Each structure stands twice: as C-alpha cells, then as structure tokens.
C-alpha cells in the first residue's frame, strides 16, 4: 500500500518537474511542453489504475493553485483555458496507456510501452484536447484538429522515448514495472 502511494506521488511530482522545462507557445496559444511525456510514463510504468491516480493527484494540486503546469500556471483558471481539454485528458491518457501495457502481450516490452504511450498520450490526449480547444477557441473540431497536427511529430518522439525508457527500466529493475514481470 505505502509503495503504491509513493509511486503515485512520485509520478505526480515527475509531471510537475517536466512542467519546469521551458515551454514553446505556438501562435494559437497552445504550449508545447514535456508534460505529455509524463502522462505516457505514468501509465507505462505504473499501469492503468495507479497511472490514472497519479495524474488525478497532479490535477488536484493544480486545481488548488500550485503552479505546476508549464509556464508556472495553476489554479482553477487552467481548467477553462484553451488547453483544458488536454489537461483533463491526463488521467485518461495514463489509464489507456497503462491498460494497453497490462493487457496486450506484445514483445519487446519497449514496443508495447511505446504503442501504449501513443494510444494514451496522443490519441486520448488529442481527442479531449481538440474538443477543449474547439470550445475554448470557438473554432470547429476540424479546424482545431488541423492546429494540433503541429504537435504530432514531437508527441510521436515522446512515445518512442517512453518505450525506450520503460524497456531500460524493466531490464534494470523489473520490479519497478510490476506489469512487466507478469507479462
């Protein structure tokens, strides 16, 4: 139990630390950050349930005003910004990533984690992110989908890096990636 709580808190802290990496804000107001890789890593390392809970903890800390988002943002206002769909998608992205790595028996482990990261950290984040952008910017869903395509190459790279990191972690410390010792 204590180990689970510690891992959940550790990954909430990891995504906060990734927010400290300088962001690049695109012309339409959406920043490119490293935090989406934290979502991918949380699901790929912790699995569905604990990955979801770590991102939920992170969102709770943001909601109470801690400046943990890229650019030092925090507070309830973050949940009504054009980026709010991406933010709200964090727990669901981690969950889908974790569910994939837990249930799909694909080898090698790095490939499984990379594909899971792409499903949760790209497909899920983009789906809710585009919806949030559409509402926040007053643009159509196809317009917002076109805007988001600028993020795709970097996010594919993040999914690949996630796969490599999880493979290295599973090799060095298999007990750290609990689902990998069963699979």
What tens-digit pLDDT sequence spans the chain (183 residues)?
A: 788 899 999 999 999 998 888 767 666 566 677 899 999 999 999 999 999 999 999 999 999 999 998 878 899 989 988 889 999 999 999 999 999 999 998 889 999 999 999 999 999 999 999 999 999 999 999 999 998 898 899 899 999 999 999 999 988 888 777 666 554
pTM of the model: 0.90
Q: How many CB atoms lie within 10 A of CB 116?
A: 28
Q: How far apart are CA 8 and CA 154, in angstroms?
A: 26
Q: Residue 118 has what pLDDT?
A: 98
Q: Residue 73 has what pLDDT?
A: 87
Which residues lie below 8 Å from residue 38, measured CB to CB, with a gap of 6+?
11, 14, 15, 18
What 3-state class would DSSP assign to 139? coil
Q: Residue 26 has what pLDDT?
A: 63
Place of tokens 């180990």: 3
Taking phi over 0 as left and psi of -120 to 50 as alpha, with beta for the rest, 90 belongs to: alpha
């Amino acid at each position: 139990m204590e180990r689970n709580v510690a891992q959940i808190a550790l990954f909430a802290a990891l995504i906060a630390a990734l927010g400290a990496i300088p962001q690049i804000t695109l012309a339409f107001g959406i920043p490119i950050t490293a935090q989406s890789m934290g979502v991918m890593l949380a699901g790929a390392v912790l699995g569905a349930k604990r990955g979801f809970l770590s991102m939920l903890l992170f969102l709770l800390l943001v909601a109470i005003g801690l400046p943990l988002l890229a650019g030092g943002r925090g507070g309830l206002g973050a949940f009504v910004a054009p980026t709010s769909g991406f933010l709200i998608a964090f727990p669901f992205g981690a969950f889908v990533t974790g569910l994939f790595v837990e249930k799909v028996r694909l080898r090698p482990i790095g490939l499984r984690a990379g594909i899971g990261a792409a499903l949760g950290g790209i497909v899920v984040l983009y789906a809710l992110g585009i919806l949030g952008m559409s509402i926040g910017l007053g643009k159509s869903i196809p317009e917002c989908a076109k805007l988001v395509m600028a993020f795709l190459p970097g996010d594919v790279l993040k999914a690949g890096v996630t796969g490599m990191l999880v493979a290295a972690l599973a090799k060095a410390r298999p007990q750290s990636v609990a689902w990998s010792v069963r699979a």
